[in-house]
Chain A
Amino acid sequence: MSITNTASAANAGSKASGTSAILLLLRMRTFVALILVFAFFAFAAPNFLSYANMLIISKHVALNALLAIGMTFVIIAGGIDLSVGSIVGLCAMVAGYLVLYGIDLGIGWTIQFNTLEICFLVLVVGVFIGLINGILITKLNVAPFIATLGVLYVARGAALLFSDGRTFPNLAGNPAYGSDTFKLIGSGSFFGFPLSIWIMVVVALAAGYLATRTPLGRHIYAVGGNERGAGLSGVNVDRTKLFVYMFSGLCAALVGLIISSQLQASHPATGETFELNAIAAAVLGGTSMSGGRGRIGGTIIGAFVIGILADGLIMMGVSSFWQTVIKGLVIIAAVVVDQIQQKLQARVILQQQAA
C-alpha cells in the first residue's frame, strides 16, 4: 500500500515538474523565439553575426524599442496610443525647423538654440501632445482608440504644414549657435556603441525600474487591471493615465530627434506606421491588450525579435511582401501561445491551492 502511494506521489511529482517546465518554457517564449530567430539567421544569412551588422540591427531596433516602451505602459494601463508615429514625424519636423531657422519672434529678432535646448524643446512638444491625448481620454472621456487616432491625423497634418510637405534638408547646424553638435545624437557613439542604443538602454532601465519598483508603476498595472477598483483603493486614475500618454509622447519625441539627426534631414512622413510596430513589439513581449499585464523586458525582447526578423529576411533576400506576412504570423502565434500559457498557469495554481 505504502509503496503504491509513494510511487503515485512520485509520479504526480514528475508530472507537476513536467508541467512547470513547460510553463517556464512558455513564460520565456519571447526569449526562446529570440534565440531561435537569432540562431536561424546566424546560419542562413551570411555576415549576420558580424559586429557591424549587429550594430546596425541594434540601431534599427532601438527606435522601435523606444516607442514600444512607451506603448507598453499605455497598454498596461488599459489604453492604446495610435499617435506615436505621427508624434515622431512632428517632433522630427520641429527639430529640423529649430536647427535651420530657430524661432522668429516677428520683430526682426530670431532666437537660435544650441543642441541641448533644441532637444529639450522637442521633448516638451512630444510630452505636450501626450498630455493632449491624456486630457482627451481622462477629462473628456474619449475612447483611447479614437482620441489617439484623431491626434494621429492632427499631428501628421501639423508636420506637413510645418514645411508645406517639403523636407528640411542638411541639418548640419551652426557652430555659432552651438547647434552643430545636433548630428551627434544620431551618429555619435559612447564606449563604442551608438548614442541611440545608449538612449534605449537608459530609457528601458528607467522604465523597468518605474514599472516594478515605484508606486506609480504599481498604479499603472492596477488601473489597467480594474479601473474602478483602483480608484476605490485610492489610486489617482486620471493622473496615472495622463502619465502614461505623456511618457509615450516623450519616447516618440526621442525617436523623432534621433531620426532627424541620423538623416540630418527632417521629412514630414517620418514615422508612418511606427505605431503598429510598437504595438507588435509590446504584444510579442507578452503585454495583454486588455490591460494590467506586461513587462518592459518582454517588450525589449519583442522589439529585437521583430527587428532581427526584418533585417535578417532582408539579408537573405526574402521579398518585403513575404516579410510582412511572416511578421504578421509571428505576432498571431505569440498571442496564441500567450493564451495557452494563461490557461495552463491558472490550472497549475489551482492544483497548488488544492494541495
Chain B
Amino acid sequence: MSENHPIGLSIRGGSKLYPGTQALKNVDFDLRMGAVNVLVGENGAGKSTLMKVIAGVEQLNGGTITLDGSEVVFSDKSDAARHGVGIVFQELNLFPNLTVTENIFIGHEKTRAGIHIDRTAQTEAAKALMKRLEQDISPETQLGNLRIGQQQIIEIAKALAENASILILDEPTSALSAAEVDVLFRVIGDLKRQGVGIVYISHRLEELIRIGDYITVLRDGVITGSRSMQGVDIPWIVANMIGSASKEFPKTGDHALGNEVFRVENVCLPSPAGGYAVDHMSLSVREGEIVGLYGLMGAGRSELLECIMAQHPTSTGAFYISGQPVREKSVSGRITRGLALIPEDRKRDGLVQIMTIRENLTLSSLPDFTRIFHLDLKAEVAKAAEFVKRMAIKIASLEHPVSSLSGGNQQKVVIGKALMTKPKILLMDEPSRGIDIGAKAEIFRTMRRLASEGLGILFVTSDLEEVLALSDRILVMANGKLTGDFPAGADAAAVISAATPNLSRVETP
C-alpha cells in the first residue's frame, strides 16, 4: 500500500516546548501523498501542535521536517503555503461580508501591476475551483449567505487556490450536517486521486475509520500508535488514546448521594441553522453527585447550560430545583434560586478583565453586602479575602486587576465568584480548559470536596479521561440529544460511540 502512497513530508525527532509543558516529544511522523493521514488523540495530546508545526504556524524546538526529500524550515504560515501546505482550521477564518471569490483570494489576490485586482481572472479561477470541488456555488455570492458546510468547502478552496499539495483539515465535520459530510468526503476522495496528501483530524472515530488510509495516535505529545488503517477498530484507537496509566484524578468519594436537587425537563433550543441545538433534553442531578456531560464539539452541551442560565429566550422546557419549578427569567433570579455557572470562555464570559480580583469575586453577590443601597466595602473585602484563602488563589493583592493572574488562578476566581452565591447546583463548562496540570488537579479536588459537601455538580467536558475519572454518572450528548447514560466506571469505547452522532451515516454510501 505504501508503494502507491509516497511519503511527501516527514518529521523526525520533532519536539515542541511551550513554557511549562512539552507539547511534542520526539515525534516521528510520515505524511503520505494521495492518502488521508488521520491524526487522533485527546484534547491536549499534541494534535493541533503537530498540525501547526506542519502548517508553519509554530516552529519545532528540535527535530527536522523533510519535504520531498529535502530538509525545510517553515518560518511562518505563508512560507509553508509557498511550499504547498494548506490548512483549514476548525474555526472558519472567513469574511461573511465579502464574496466567495474575494474570500478565496484574500491575502494573495491576483493582481495586475501589484495594485489592480484582476477580477475576471479571480472569478475564473474561483469558478474552476468550485467545479473541481463539485460545488454549485456562484463565485459572486456573498459568503455570509452560504451554509456552514459550504463555507467549509470555501476554506478548502482557499487552500487549493494556493496550489496546496498537502491539506490539513482540523475537525472539518464538527459543524456539518450528514449530507454535507458526504459532500466533503467525496471532495476528499477526489483530492486523494489528484495526489493531494491530506491530514485529517477528528474526534469522531467511526468517521476516521471510514475516511482514513493511515492513522497516527497521539497521547501527551508522544505517538502511541501509527499504522495503516487496515484492520484498525475503535477499541484499538481508544486503547492507544488513553493508555493504561491514568493521570492523577482524585478518587470518587464514597459519600452517600442525597435527594434529587436539580431536574431538567424537555429543554429545546431551536438552532439558527434549522432543527434543534438542544433537542428535548432531560436530566437530573442529585445532591453530592458529579454528573459529567460528555460530547463532541457542537453537541449542544454549552447551549444546554446556557438555557439553564437563562441565556436563550427562545428555549423551551422546565427546570426544577429540589422539586420546585424555576420560573425566574433573569440570570440574577436563577442565581438566587441556587444555580451558578462557570462559563467555558473565562475571558469572554467569566471575568471582567479590567476589574480587580475583589470586584470580580463579589460581582454576583453584591446584595449580600448591601444595606438598602449602601455597599459595605469592609464586609466585601473580608468576604473576598475569605474566598481567596478558601480557593487557595495565589495573589499579591485583592486590588490587582484579575487579568494579571495565571489561567488557573483566574479560573479559581470564577469558581469563587460562583460559590459566593451559595449555589445548590454548580454548572461547569469545560472547567479544566486552558489551565496547567497542577491547577487542573486542584480544581478537580475542589469539585470533589464541594460534592461531598452536598453540592450537585453538572460539568461539561470534551476530555474522555476526565469524564470517566471524575463523574459519578456520565451523560453523553450528540446533535443536541441525550445519547447515553452510564454509571461511573463505564467502558470508554461505549461512551465514545454514544458521542458520535448518527452512526449509520458514516457507513460508506
Contacts and interface: CB of A to CB of B under 8 A. Distances in A.
A353 B404 contact: yes
Contacts of B341: 232
B374 A214 contact: yes
Given A226-B352, A231-B331, A234-B332, 8 more contacts: A215-B367, A229-B349, A231-B311, A232-B343, A232-B350, A234-B335, A292-B355, A350-B404
A225 interface: yes
A217 B374 CA distance: 10
A349 B359 contact: no
B366 interface: yes
5 tightest Cβ-Cβ pairs between the two chains A and B: A234-B332, A225-B352, A215-B366, A226-B352, A234-B335
A327 B373 CA distance: 39
A218 interface: yes
B397 A222 contact: no
Interface string A202-234: 000000000001111111011001101111111
B348 A292 contact: no
A140 interface: no
A233 B367 CA distance: 13
B257 to A, nearest CB: 28
Contacts of A225: 352-355
Contacts of A218: 359, 363, 366, 375
Interface in A261-301: 292-293
A340 B349 CA distance: 28
Contacts of A228: 348-349
B373 A216 contact: yes
29 contacts: A213-B375, A214-B370, A215-B370, A216-B373, A217-B375, A219-B366, A221-B352, A221-B359, A222-B352, A222-B363, A225-B354, A225-B355, A226-B352, A228-B348, A229-B352, A231-B311, A232-B349, A232-B350, A233-B331, A234-B330, A235-B331, A235-B332, A235-B363, A236-B332, A293-B354, A346-B404, A352-B397, A353-B405, A355-B396
Contacts of B395: 353
Interface string B359-376: 100011011001001110
Contacts of A235: 331-332, 363
A243 to B, nearest CB: 12
Contacts of B348: 226, 228-229
B273 interface: no
A226 B331 contact: no
Interface of B: 309, 311, 330-332, 335, 341, 343, 348-355, 359, 363-364, 366-367, 370, 373-375, 377, 395-397, 400-401, 404-405, 417, 421
A164 to B, nearest CB: 44
A228 B332 CA distance: 14
Contacts of B350: 229, 232
A218 B373 CA distance: 12
B364 A222 contact: no
B351 A226 contact: yes
Task: Give the one of B311, B348, B363, B366 with max A CB within 10 A.
Answer: B363
Given A346-B404, A350-B404, A353-B404, A229 B375 contact: no
A338 to B, nearest CB: 13
Nearest to A288: B354
A346 B353 CA distance: 12
A214 B375 contact: yes
Contacts of B349: 228-229, 232
Contact of A353 (B351, B367, B400, B417): B400
B351 A352 contact: no
A133 B405 CA distance: 37
Nearest to B380: A218
A23 to B, nearest CB: 14
A230 B331 CA distance: 10
B375 A292 contact: no
Nearest to B352: A225
B165 to A, nearest CB: 42
A168 B370 CA distance: 47
Nearest to A354: B396
A34 to B, nearest CB: 25
A233 B418 CA distance: 8
Contact of A236 (B309, B311, B330): B330
Contacts of B421: 234
A33 B417 CA distance: 39
Count chain A CB atoms within 10 A of each CB in B348, B351, B354, B401 and give the residue with the most.
B354
Contacts of B370: 214-215
A219 B366 CA distance: 9
A269 B489 CA distance: 76
